[in-house]
Amino acid sequence: MLTLRPPSWRHPLGTTWQGRDVFSQVLHGARPTLIVGLSAALILAFLGVNVGLWSGYWGGWLDLLLMRLVDILYGLPFLPLMVVVMSLLSREQKYVILGLGLVAWRDVARVVRARVLALREEDFIKSARAMGAGHVRLVYLYLFPNLLPLALLFLAFGLVWSILGHADLSFLGFGDPRHQTWGDMVSAAWAAGVMSEAYWWYLPPSACIAAVSTGAFFLARALEEIADPRRSRGGQFA
């Protein structure tokens, strides 16, 4: 029985306490991890950008209502809130994606709203309004193109937040049991009580989580340079 065997030619990343190949589990866990990360990032970017657009453009009672909702979300710790959401919904992958997307859009909305408050006073917006452009046209054809680099930036950051949040939920046992992820592998090693001896079981998935998150972060920083070129002038991109 190949139980808890260290890395070898036959099993490059060793085996688990059940004799399962860790390398195969790492490859198998990549797909659900990336699907959840990308899907949740798209949802949170979509919600955050649209809430920020309409809140900043419309102002008044709508701005007050949406920003108070953001304040409420800021007052709730992310991980405990996600645990409550998953307990109320389900542990299915689609609900994990939905839960992450519905909780993590608050930062996007805040930043986009601040940008819209400045843009809506620009001359090109006033000219378009004077020419009879409607609200939807002003928001999506005049304001949104100026926010596209910012939206892409938060999409990349959203990927980081979603992958790390999903890993945390999986470690706590709130992931989809039908789809093993990198977080589930770390959780299984912890539950087996072999963290100190079977390093080959939890280090590879942990390294994958760190590598993907770091890559997405560097992508976000590159997009941040595009969104605001002044950050890279004079070696100040930091």
Would you state the pLDDT for residue 236? 45
| Secondary structure string (H, E, C) spanning 29-70 | HHHHHHHHHHHHHHHHHHHHHHHHHHHHHHCHHHHHHHHHHH
In a domain, 13, yes or no: no
In a domain, 12, yes or no: no
DSSP 191-206: HTT-TTT-HHHHHHHH
Domains: count for the chain: 1
In a domain, 205, yes or no: yes
CATH of the domain at 109: 1.10.3720.10
Selection from 78, 40, 27, 38 nearest residue 182 by Cα? 27
Would you state the pLDDT for residue 227? 61
Could you tell me the residue range of the domain that residue 161 belongs to? Answer: 25-227
Res. 230 pLDDT band, cuts 50 70 90: low
In a domain, 149, yes or no: yes
In a domain, 64, yes or no: yes
Residue 205 burial (CB count, 10 A): 28
In a domain, 237, yes or no: no
Res. 51 pLDDT band, cuts 50 70 90: very high
Q: CA dihedral defined by 182, 184, 190, 191, rounded to 10 degrees?
A: -160
Residue 93 burial (CB count, 10 A): 18
DSSP 139: I
- Residues 81-109 have a mean pLDDT of 82
